[in-house]
A and B are shown apart, each in its own frame.
Chain A
Amino acid sequence: MTVLRVTRRRAATGVVVLGVLAFAVLGLIRAAAPADTPSMRQRVDEVAATLRCPTCQGLSIEDSTSVLAAGSRRIIEQQLEQGRTPDEIRQWFVDRYGSSVLLSPDPAGPGLVAWVVPGLVLVAGGLLVWRWLGRDAAPSVAPDRTAAALAAWRAGALDPDDSPAGEALREALTAADADGDAAALARVASAHRRYTARPATAGQRGSVPTRRGPVLPRRMVTLGAAGAVLVAAAAGVALGSSDRSTGTGPPPAAAAVPSPPASVPAPSPPPGWSGGMPQTPQNWVQLGRAYDAAHQPDQAVAAYDMALRLQPGADAVLLMRADVLVRSGHADQALPDLEQLDARHPDTADVLLVLGLAQRAGGDPDAGATLRRFLELDPGSAAAPGVRHLLDGG
């Protein structure tokens, strides 16, 4: 009967462990599988995430918004367009920055240690725990030791010390002495195990010589390990799906943005703003619009700068920033960005409008031609009547 119960329990445990393993392996496969037809931006992100940002050690090029990270992204993009593989691109960076530019150590050479040691430690640790748990596995040991401990207690040879484990053992022995049922004996076994496993003290007396057993019950360790694997697998699956869902949007022009290299102080929200401090580029853009509407152009530009730092290459944001600068009388600051936007997005009405206005503010003779191009491209625009008025000498 007991044998049958044990066999059933083992089978159930085996099924659970197999299930957890299958789930974990599926999660890993899912996480490792390439996304469907990744966009250029995703491909650049993938390579950039494996390279250390040159100017800010510890961050990847993907995460960094520093001066040279944007240049690095451009180079990755150009090389991908030329058909070079991610490994060739990484080698290109290693040739210039040394192997420390790789965020994952190179498996060739000394970097191999970093790959091998964690695995070895894991295997060695697992073997140690396995052996340690296996020590108490023989079912005949526990009753013998319990009986020996009880006999020693009765004979006065076992005198537990005043540690919490000693107190617990004394209580268990007293109870078992009075009422020697199976539950009381089991309590003695477990209390004695904890007592012998407690940190050694100078005055440790009268313990029955016995081999150390596990401090934690084996089932708890097994269930804990299975739980940890399950949580890790679930996290892997969840992260894998979220990566895919965020990566399917329209790819913005993956171009470097000439944002100010000096760090921009984060603006605080305007009065009446109820969105809290923004955390995402989209929120910073909203905040920038709110400032723009509140006629606070400096704060609006600062908010757009924060959005651009989080998402370099967002040309739409760059255009909004330039627009605010032009309208607030700082067309000269907006011109370099606008010229680059015009080069990247030729014959785009919105870019031409803001560029033309900036050129006009700076007295550039090209302003007229730029604004006329805007009118040709978008004659029905809400801004068209005003622009015609300007061109007619208004």
Chain B
Amino acid sequence: MFMEFFNSLLEGKLLGMKCKDCGSYTCPPKHTCNSCSSRNLEKTILSGKGTVKTYTVTYVAPMGYEKEVPYVVALVELDEGPWIIGRLDVDPKIAEENDLTDKRVSIFAKEMPSEMFYPMKEKRIVPYFRIEG
């Protein structure tokens, strides 16, 4: 289902699952609810808005990602509850000099070159977080 997730994100839609049993959200989609493990799920589009919980500026890259450093990886808590991972769309210097946790963000996607071991061979679709305000 990951292709559908990434292709939706390119179109500006954040795909998730809503649990018909416990009401909580799972994003990106999974076969089971991340809260109660139920399979009674329905696809839904999430708001794409959230809050930065933590981040890191990466200076040493793995093979295949060398041209992208330094880059900022962040964990964001979506307004619907799930935490997701992506990159902060911000100058790494600004990320080092300021505390960007608790900042409000909205999600979008960028297409980037794939690498030898990544499961999508044509391109990588990378979730990005834009700081609001």
Note whether A and B form a binding pair: no
Interface residues of A (CB under 8 A from B): none
Interface residues of B (CB under 8 A from A): none
